[in-house]
Amino acid sequence: MKNKISYLLSLGSAFATCLFMLPDYTRAQEQKAQGYLMIDYVVKPSMAKEFEAATIQENGLFAGIKFPYRWTAYSTEDFHYYFFTPIETNFASLDRFSAALIEAEAQLGENYRTLEKRMEGTYEYYRETLVCLRPDLSYTPAKQNIKPDESNYIFFEFTHILPGKVKEFEAYYKEWAALCQKIGFHIGYAAYQGDIGTDMPFYFSAMSAKTQADTFIEEERIMKLLSQEEKQELGAAYEKAFAYFRKYETKNGRSRRDLSYMPRAK
């Protein structure tokens, strides 16, 4: 894990703002702001199975020494693998994280270094970024149709904002959440703001469901309930967002509990 955060840790005291477990998307608005380290691996398609096997082995090594930090994994259709670790928004937390990784590497010795070399041949590159949960921009449905342990499908929305349009975009994001509340959309989402390592201004949201089909079913349910006027309002609100975008990208993926790591209780 040490090589996964080498760049950000080298920044040390160079930043003042903020990832592990992504929050329960159905209650994102109820949670406090939380910083996360997000690591994005671009894996070679032919080496995906090898990457996953090595990751599982790595998690086993960390579990063996009861490594105290955790991470949650997701993979998308384009062979990106995302790992999220919660980081407090202060320098002391980074120092503790760095110290824990150095100690872990020393404990694991040659076995760990051999595994890291094995993993290096399975991906093209990786990118480390810091993002912060924005509860004020997230949406929690009044009526939820999914439990946290049923979240298998993930939909990521990556948005790069035009310079000078951040206030307008955030105001729009809040309007969109209010509109979702108004029409009774049953699937919530968590919104994040990019920090160090991202092409700022950058925001992304994550929506989770049992399956991708469930999102289509919910959309169809809503469209049947809306009046023509409400449909026009929804369409106008969606189109409004593109006036603030410099770049926009979406990804379909799934939760990877098999690649995630949860520390054992001491």
Q: Is residue 229 very low, low, confident or very high in pLDDT (cuts 50, 70, 90)?
A: confident
Residues 6+ apart with CB under 8 A from 66: 263, 264, 266
Whole-angstrom Cα distance, residue 190 to residue 206? 5
CATH 3.40.50.970 assigned to 133-253? no
* 205 three-class SS: strand
Q: pLDDT value at position 14? A: 27
> 206 to each of 45, 47, 150, 169, how far by Cα in Å?
24, 26, 15, 17
pLDDT tens-digit series, residues 73-118: 999 999 999 999 887 755 676 678 778 889 998 999 998 889 999 9
Whole-angstrom Cα distance, residue 166 to residue 164? 6
Q: Residue 3 CB: number of other CB atoms within 10 A?
A: 13
SS3 of the chain: helix, strand, coil, percent, to 5: 45, 25, 25
Q: pLDDT value at position 122? A: 96
Asked if residue 11 has pLDDT above 70, the reply is: no
Q: Which two tokens stand for residue 248?
A: 């926009």
Q: pLDDT value at position 129? A: 83
Q: Is residue 12 very low, low, confident or very high in pLDDT (cuts 50, 70, 90)?
A: very low
What's the sign of the alpha-carbon dihedral 18, 94, 70, 102?
A: positive
Q: pLDDT value at position 85? A: 87
% of the chain residues with pLDDT over 90:
42
Identify which has the larger pLDDT, 19 or 147: 147
What are the backbone dihedrals phi and psi of residue 257, each rounded to the nearest 5 degrees, phi first?
-65, -25
Q: pLDDT value at position 33? A: 63
Residues of the chain with CATH 3.30.70.100: 2-130, 133-253
Burial of residue 258 (number of CB atoms within 10 Å: 0-12, 13-18, 19+): exposed
Quick one: CA torsion of 144, 145, 149, 150, rounded to 10 degrees? -160
Identify which has the larger pLDDT, 160 or 233: 160
Q: Is residue 32 very low, low, confident or very high in pLDDT (cuts 50, 70, 90)?
A: low
pLDDT tens-digit series, residues 201-224: 999 999 988 889 988 998 888 888
Asked if residue 174 has pLDDT above 70, the reply is: yes
What's the sign of the alpha-carbon dihedral 39, 45, 46, 50?
A: positive
Q: Regarding the domain delimited by 2-130, which CATH topology (the fold level of the hierarchy) does it fall under?
A: Alpha-Beta Plaits (3.30.70)
Are 67 and 263 a contacting pair, CB within 8 Å? yes
Whole-angstrom Cα distance, residue 189 to residue 116? 34
The single-letter DSSP state of residue 144 is -
Q: Which two tokens stand for residue 157?
A: 């929305």
Identify which has the larger pLDDT, 208 or 196: 208
Whole-angstrom Cα distance, residue 253 to residue 211? 10
Asked if residue 258 has pLDDT above 90, the reply is: yes
pLDDT tens-digit series, residues 114-166: 999 999 999 999 998 888 899 999 988 877 666 666 678 999 999 999 999 99
% of the chain residues with pLDDT over 70:
82
